[in-house]
Amino acid sequence: MCGIVGYIGDKEVLPILIDGLKRLEYRGYDSAGVAILGEDLKVVKTQGRIKALEERLKDEDLKGNLGVGHTRWATHGAPNNVNAHPHYSESKNIVVVHNGIIENYLELKKMLVKEGHDFRSETDTEVIAYLIEEFYEGDLLEAVKKAYEMLEGSYAIAVMSKDQKDCFVVVRKDSPLIVGLGKGENFIASDIPAILTYTREIIILENGDIVKITKDDVSVWDANGNSVKRPVQQVQWNVEDAKKGGFKHFMLKEIFDEPTVIKEAMRGRIKNGSFEIPELEQISVDYLKNIRQIFFVACGTAYHAGVVGKYLAEKYLKLPVQVEVASEFRYRDPMIDGRTLLFVISQSGETTDTLAALRLGKKKGAKTIGIVNVVGSSVAREVDNVVYVHAGPEIAVASTKAYVAQVEVVALVLLYFAKKLGLLSVENEKALVSEFFALPEKAQAILDRSNEIAEFASTTKTIEETFYIGRNLDYALSLEGALKLKEISYVHAEGYPAGELKHGPLALVTPQSLIIAIDTYAPLRKKTLSNIKEVKARQGRVLAIATKGYSEIEEVADKTFYVPQTIDDLSPVISVIPLQLIAYYIAESRGLDIDKPRNLAKSVTVE
Ligand code: M6R
């Protein structure tokens, strides 16, 4: 996720770009840059936040009335000065800013290198600029249209040409982009807050739209090349609301981002109906056959993603698997050797304990794979192989969308290894692949019913403590559900194996207890149902999260929230959503500071 802003009109463009970029910084902040077309087409960019860019601009005299700016969240290539956007074409006549991923950029890059072109950066973006230049014959729009036909993936781009001082061209495919309308001036942006100071009239572009923007005109062509008119909308939000996409908190916005996050996490990882992880291609079958044990090491929510990994790895790879909290692992003497595969999971990639655990594992000879969100972070740099989850920046302290992406990517990696080892039948792979593709829609279906959860949460004011119970993967989810609730609502919550409740915690169950029973794992459904009955016999209040169609549960639970049917092993990706929502709405009904809960920090860089 990156931020794009652009302007064409009569005003000096630089202050407009800087102001817009500051408002988009929540979308990415590892580097930033601007391109301005004045006498010349000039790019200034730098690693770091917008402040660093402003410092850098003090030495420049950038004047012009047409320009684009970019704040980056790295996906391809480390966050540094060279990989920062905007990117020039080879001759420096074309400039591109880009948000999203070009899936076939390696193929395109190889083709262009073969033709004798020299690249400067490691990004997928540069390929776009070079490709447009290849097609450019004096008409920027036509060149962009031709390049667009060759680009696969999800992206929004804005393009300027040194020879066309009266326009820029933008494309929107799966990544957001809006056009802001002014009088004798027009704007583009990844998101509304960037331009809200200047205009409230916007056009939300559709997927596949290509748009030519001059100061007096906005012309749109749809994915089929037809000239179309898109409706103009009036924005009612204030700037602060707009940053959160109109949601009250970043946490809620991030939960609602999850259908897109699920799509992004699998992008390029399922090819021709088969699991492929390009980042792990060089791991050989011989190496995989030689592995004797697997570890998942992480902290907090990432640790809970590891618990899901344990269940899946045992099932699909038939190996002993351990999942460890990094702060414990690092001070033990774990039995690790060269035949150990160590997965390290981290959203930030900077968690001190996780980094120390990674270093210990490496020292003992394990091969390490990082499942990481922040590109170029310490964990990403130090592991042998990194697979990014592409969840985009997570602002709320409580991790939500990163968990969804972590669980999904862990599953994709394990299924890819199982396939390589001949442990995944063709029919099984086919069924799993088609279910992966169905997940975004199923996640959306859950979000569309978030009001049911909000209503239930408003009835929980007297609850003093909460138990989350489940079996197998539902148990893994119960741990995450409980963590979410306690960190933002300050209600005591515990995740417990459903079958273990009667070995102690049942003594605590009273009418003031809320029991959230997760019962989506079909093979153990009936067993969990019996545990719910045990709770009901002690007057505990039960909210059940169950698979659609399992109506028996309604006779026992006080309230049932149904999640769509999916393959059991993929259920955590979507079944966590009602748990995140319940935590959110309970905290909201108590009027708490949801995005910045007391005593907690987003990135834990201390022991
Ligand atoms: O950045 P990391 O994934 O390494 O962070 C790990 C934990 O600190 C993090 O998941 C924490 O538990 C969150 N506050 C959970 O919502």
DSSP per-residue codes, 91-135: TSSEEEEEEEEETTHHHHHHHHHHTT----SS-SHHHHHHHHHHH
CA distance 93 to 95: 7
What mean pLDDT do residues 574-588 have?
97
Tell me the mean pLDDT in the region 309-327: 98
- Phi, psi (deg, nearest 5) at residue 538: -100, 20
Helix (H) or strand (E) holding 42: strand 41-47
Query: Does a cis peptide bond (omega within 30 degrees of 0) precede residue 278?
Result: no
Q: Which of 250, 299, 358, 596 to mutate to test the pocket of ligand 1 (most atoms within 8 A of CB)?
A: 299
Looking at domain 252-442, which CATH architecture does it have?
Answer: 3-Layer(aba) Sandwich (3.40)
Residue 490 backbone zone (phi > 0: left; psi -120 to 50: alpha; other: beta) = left
State the pLDDT at residue 244.
83
**From the alpha carbon of 600, which atom of ligand 1 is closest?**
14
pLDDT, tens digit, for every residue of 251-289? 999 999 999 999 999 999 999 999 999 999 999 999 999
Tokens of 511: 């009418």
| Residues whose beta carbon lies within 6 Å of some atom of ligand 1 | 299-302, 346-348, 351, 354, 397-399, 487, 600, 603-604
Residue-level pLDDT at 446: 98
Identify the CATH assignment for 3-243 out of 1.10.460.10, 3.60.20.10, 3.30.70.20, 3.30.390.30.
3.60.20.10
- CATH number given to 449-589: 3.40.50.10490
Question: Is pLDDT above 90 for 213?
Answer: yes
pLDDT tier at 375, thresholds 50, 70, 90: confident
Judged against a pLDDT cut of 90, whether residue 392 lies above it is answered with no
Measure 166 CA to ligand 1 centroid, in angstroms: 47
pLDDT at 208: 93
> Which of the 8 DSSP states describes residue 138?
S
Residue matched to tokens 């609301």? 241
Q: Identity (one letter) of the amino acid at 140?
A: L
Question: How far apart, in whole angstroms, are the C-alpha atoms of residue 27 and residue 190?
Answer: 9
139-160 burial by CB neighbour count: b if 16+ within 10 A, else e? ebbebbbebbebbebbbbbbbb
Identify whether 2 is a catalytic site residue: yes
- The closest residue, in CA terms, to atom 8 on ligand 1 is 300
pLDDT digits (tens, 9 = 90+) for 45-80: 999 889 999 999 998 989 999 999 999 888 778 888
Topology agreement, domain 3-243 and domain 449-589: no
The ranges assigned to domains in the chain are 3-243, 252-442, 449-589
Q: What is the DSSP letter of 230?
A: P
Terminal Cα distance for the chain, rounded: 30
Q: pLDDT for 544-562, tens place per residue?
A: 999 999 999 999 999 999 9
pLDDT class for 599, splitting at 50, 70, 90? confident
Q: Helix or strand or coil: residue 323?
A: strand
Strand stretches in 222-287, DSSP E: 227-228, 233-234, 270-271, 274-275
Return the higher-pLDDT residue of 431 and 244: 431
Which of 251, 254, 308, 348 should be mutated for ligand 1, with most atoms under 8 A from CB? 348
Task: Tell me how far apart the alpha carbons of residues 298 and 160 are, in angstroms, rounded to a whole number.
Answer: 44
Atom 14 of ligand 1 has which residue's CA nearest to it? 398
Q: Give the residue carrying structure tokens 């969990």.
A: 528
CA–CA dist 593, 261 (Å, integer): 25
Predicted confidence band at 377 (pLDDT cuts at 50, 70, 90)?
confident
What does the pLDDT read at residue 53? 94
| pLDDT tens string 156-203 | 999 999 999 999 999 999 788 999 999 999 999 998 888 988 999 999
Q: What is the Cα–Cα distance from 125 to 31, expressed in whole angstroms?
A: 14
Q: What is the pLDDT of residue 145?
A: 96
Q: Ligand 1 centroid vs 300 CA: distance in angstroms?
A: 5
Residue 1 has pLDDT above 80, yes or no: no
pLDDT tens, position by position, 239-253: 766 678 889 999 999
Instruction: Please confirm, yes or no, whether 109 is among the known catalytic residues.
Output: no
